[in-house]
Amino acid sequence: MSRFVFGFLCVALLLPPLAAPVRADTIGVQSAELVPDEDEYVLSAQFDVAINPTLEEALQNGVSLYFVLEFELGRPRWYWLDEKVAQLTVQYRLTYSPLTRQYRVTTGLLGQQFDSLDEVQRVLSRVAARPVVKKDALVPGARYDAAVRLRLDVAQLPKPFQINALASRDWSLQSEWHRWSFVP
């Protein structure tokens, strides 16, 4: 190995790594907060959901996509494991009907029709006033750790697509856990 190549490798190893670009297959979290309501606290959050062309094509071909909103609220304890105070999981099912050329978002027994994928992305991006915990379950003045994320649930995909999801980044649409401290 020449001195030039050896020197170049040494310098390359000592340089700090460049900042990784934001991946196109992630969901960004713009904001999240717990707000007091009448007798409970409600979750409001804003995500940046962008359904890529691979997922859009799967929708057009009759594959349902399942998105999962996950929320956790815990109280840190120095003497033991953190106490889990509240936990919430909401599943959204996204389908496309070629006959009506409409998208449908379903959660539980409720469903809505949309004419465009942009409208669907706006609806999936916004969590507004979702009840998560009763006020009397929290100790006033105590510090709690809250966390929220939104992800595409690849376990709900048909088996051939689950194998695809392991090999392709196009199928791993998710946000990181967004964490913040909360004092009631």
Predicted confidence pLDDT, tens digits, the chain (184 residues): 555 434 433 433 333 333 333 344 588 999 999 999 889 999 999 999 999 998 999 999 999 999 999 999 999 888 888 889 999 999 999 999 999 999 999 998 999 999 999 999 999 999 999 999 999 999 999 999 999 999 999 888 888 777 777 777 778 888 999 999 989 8
Strand partners, 174: 26, 151
Angle at 53 between CA 47 and CA 59, to 5 degrees: 85
Q: What is the pTM of this model?
A: 0.80
Find, among 157, 149, 146, the residue nearest to 75 by Cα.
146
